[in-house]
Structure 1
Amino acid sequence: MRDPLPVPARAVRTELVVERSRFVTTLEPVADVAAAERVVARVRRELPDARHHCTAAVLGEDGGLVRSHDDGEPAGTAGAPMLAALRGAGVTDVVAVVTRYFGGVLLGTGGLVRAYGGSVGAALAAAGVVPRRWADLVEVRAGLADGGRVEAELRRTRDVEDVAWAGDGWRAVVAVPVGGLGALRAGLAAAGLRASAEPVGRAVRPAP
């Protein structure tokens, strides 16, 4: 199973000046099309006096959903190079908005392509990326007397999620590498801990 594509580590806003035109890039991680559209709408409100707000987005675990828009620039000179920069970086679940303030000098087709693509490339470099992997989710259960020790052992080497204590004992969800359930059970047994471990699903998690 191929791991999902990486995602931007953080939201950034960068600026590039080309022949007195300012290219302000807002790049943010997003979960879906609706979230990307909210980012675009917010940027338009924040920077209402700009001539163009050109956009590109790549979405989905495999980056299969793409969107771009030239917003009044000559066709293919803004959204397409922005999208090419995102896809060239191999990231997904990301939206970029490049806001252009015209500086009075015409850049030509090649100049626009370089400016818009370069703006997104600079923003990606500033944001950084987070590699991701598929993980098996395992529910681990233990009695009240053993829960604390089980949790401490798991936290030494693994991601522990959704910890809960109840009258009948302790439980938590642990993310393990795909196919790692057997190793988890063996580790608990080797540590002399009384706990059950059962698979509950699969999810995307940051790579270690």
Structure 2
Amino acid sequence: MHQLKSAVHAEIEIKKSRFLGQLYPVYSRSEAKALLNQIRAQHPNAVHVCWALLCEGDSGLDDDGEPSGTAAKPMYNVLVHKELFNVLAVVIRYWGGTKLGAGGLTRAYGQAISDAFKNAELIAIEVLSEIQLVFEFADEAPLRRLCESYLANILELEYGERVRLKIKLKATELEPFYRDAFNLTRGKLERLTADL
């Protein structure tokens, strides 16, 4: 999976209709909605502003008045095919006076996003995992240093009879981190599966 480094745009013209394909990195539906409001304000004479959203916890599609399945679905298909995530695809259509038919619309909307994708610089998405550990107070400072060396984010820290720590780090580094933490604490480490 990949995400965009920055927004990219492309424009195509088919039978005098202009299709402005745009891709934006986004991380929530609310961020996408705010961006769509800005785009609509910038293009008040556009006949359609169709979009497809793929982001963590939320996705969506809107044909914005085009025949069902002819705009947002082909845009969505391009995003899935290109393995993009955390992305908002938008195509702004300016009417050219000639009907394109369902097949023509499907090709136009898909092509507008594909052409925008050609200008994209991608970043590989790192899958993150969480782990919870319980250990002795004396091991807290060394474990914090280990977290820093793995670039792990400390999410929660709780003190009781022992220290409970919840962290997030790259999924590929989870097991090596746990092995190093286990060795660092001389085996006096408990791995929890339930939430704190």
Aligned residue number for residue 53 of structure 1: 49
Aligned residue number for residue 36 of structure 2: 40
Segments of structure 2 that go 5 or more residues without pairing to the other structure are none
**C-alpha distance in 2, partners of 1:134/1:197?**
21
Measured on the aligned residues, the alpha-carbon RMSD in Å equals 4.1
SS of structure 1 residue aligned to 2:127: strand
Aligned residue number for residue 18 of structure 1: 13
Look up the equivalent residue of 1:98 and give its one-letter code: V
Residues 103-126 of structure 1, C-alpha deviation per residue, up to 9 Å, x if partnerless? x47472444333311222244451
Q: 1:185 to 1:73 in 2, by over 3 A?
A: closer
Contact 1:10 1:29 survives alignment (8 Å) = no
Does residue 129 of structure 2 align to residue 131 of structure 1?
no
Look up the equivalent residue of 2:49 and give its one-letter code: H
Structure 1 counterpart of 2:149, from 153, 156, 161: 156
**C-alpha distance in 2, partners of 1:28/1:185?**
33
Contact 2:52 2:75 survives alignment (8 Å) = yes
Structure 1 counterpart of 2:77, from 84, 89, 95: 84
Q: If the length of structure 2 is used for normalisation, what is the TM-score?
A: 0.66
**C-alpha distance in 1, partners of 2:188/2:43?**
56
SS of structure 1 residue aligned to 2:106: helix
Look up the equivalent residue of 1:136 and give its one-letter code: E
Q: How does 1:1-208 map to 2 (within 5 A)?
A: 6=1, 8-19=3-14, 21-32=18-29, 34-58=30-54, 66-69=60-63, 71-102=64-95, 104=96, 106=98, 108-109=100-101, 110-125=103-118, 126=120, 128-133=122-127, 135-139=129-133, 143=137, 146-157=139-150, 159-162=152-155, 172-175=165-168, 177=171, 184-191=177-184, 196-199=189-192
Q: 1:169 to 1:14 in 2, by over 3 A?
A: farther
Q: If the length of structure 1 is used for normalisation, what is the TM-score?
A: 0.63
Paired residue total: 189
Q: 1:41 to 1:140 in 2, by over 3 A?
A: farther
